[in-house]
Amino acid sequence: MANPIIILGSSRSHGNTRKAINQIIGKCDIPLVDLNTLSIKPYDYEYLNKSDDFIPLIERIVEFDTIILATPVYWYTMSALMKIFIDRITDLLDIRKDLGRKLRGKKLFVIASFGTSLPKGFEDTFEQTCQYLGVEYLGTSFVYVGENDEQFMENNQQAIEKAKLILPIVEKSSTQRYAPSC
Ligand SMILES: Cc1cc2nc3c(=O)[nH]c(=O)nc-3n(C[C@H](O)[C@H](O)[C@H](O)COP(=O)(O)O)c2cc1C
């Protein structure tokens, strides 16, 4: 993978999910889009929102080969901000099929930060969405941000290593460099 982009969908731009991203990517200069800074409205059957920031964002995303979705776990699932983004992909099946087709063959990885418990079935939505869109699902890294559960804290290093390996992210000191600007 040489060309990743991160889509951050948290209710705060510099919270735990952003920290989880930083733990994974280290010094790699991977482009990041913060959904908080854009105006992307919920799906509308009449496509009344077609002129908001969604289509320009997708036009940017299709230039990359790997999409990294970063979301906190809110009530056992992705954030509402991220869900709105996913719902709006429906626009690409109807009014911008040309753009929808450009998603085929892309890869998708998820970074999820959580505070209390691993959410059951969290990955199913992403896996099935990828299957539907012809996108390769690479997996999810769950990064624990709490301080009470020692097992989760121990698992964090594995979660971070998993993401680095899959994406793959190689730091400057290494002899091999896959990811750009690392
Ligand atoms: C509205 C809300 C719902 C949450 N629901 C869960 C949950 O279901 N499971 C969990 O493990 N943590 C839950 N948390 C904790 C967050 O997942 C955790 O603090 C996360 O790292 C927050 O990331 P952020 O700072 O980017 O928002 C919730 C937090 C909030 C604010």
Residues contacting 157, CB < 8 A, separation 6+: none
Over residues 29-51, the pLDDT tens digits come to: 999 999 999 999 999 999 999 99
In a domain, 180, yes or no: no
Mean pLDDT computed over 133-159: 96
In a domain, 178, yes or no: no
Residue 64, pLDDT > 80, answer yes
Say how far apart CA 91 and CA 76 lie, in whole Å: 26
This prediction's pTM:
0.95
| Mean of per-residue pLDDT scores for the chain | 94
- Ligand 1 pocket: which of 6, 35, 74, 77 to mutate (most atoms <8 Å of CB)? 74
In a domain, 182, yes or no: no
- Domain extent for 58: 4-166
> How far is the CA of 177 from the CAs of 21, 24, 31, 67, in angstroms?
19, 15, 17, 19
Taking the centre of ligand 1 as the mean of its atom positions, its distance from the CA of residue 9, in whole angstroms, is 12
Residue 145, pLDDT > 90, answer yes
Q: How many CB atoms lie within 10 A of CB 176?
A: 6
Say how far apart CA 55 and CA 70 lie, in whole Å: 19
Residue 17, pLDDT > 90, answer yes
Measured CA angle at 115 (ends 111, 118), to 5 deg: 65
First-residue to last-residue Cα distance in the chain: 13
In a domain, 177, yes or no: no
Count of domains for the chain = 1
Taking the centre of ligand 1 as the mean of its atom positions, its distance from the CA of residue 105, in whole angstroms, is 31
In a domain, 179, yes or no: no
Residue 180, pLDDT > 90, answer no
In a domain, 181, yes or no: no
Assigned token pair, 136? 């390769």
Q: What is the CATH number of the domain that holds 27?
A: 3.40.50.360
> How far is the CA of 29 from the CAs of 39, 47, 85, 128, 170, in angstroms?
25, 35, 23, 30, 12
Amino acid at 92: L
Q: How many CB atoms lie within 10 A of CB 121?
A: 9
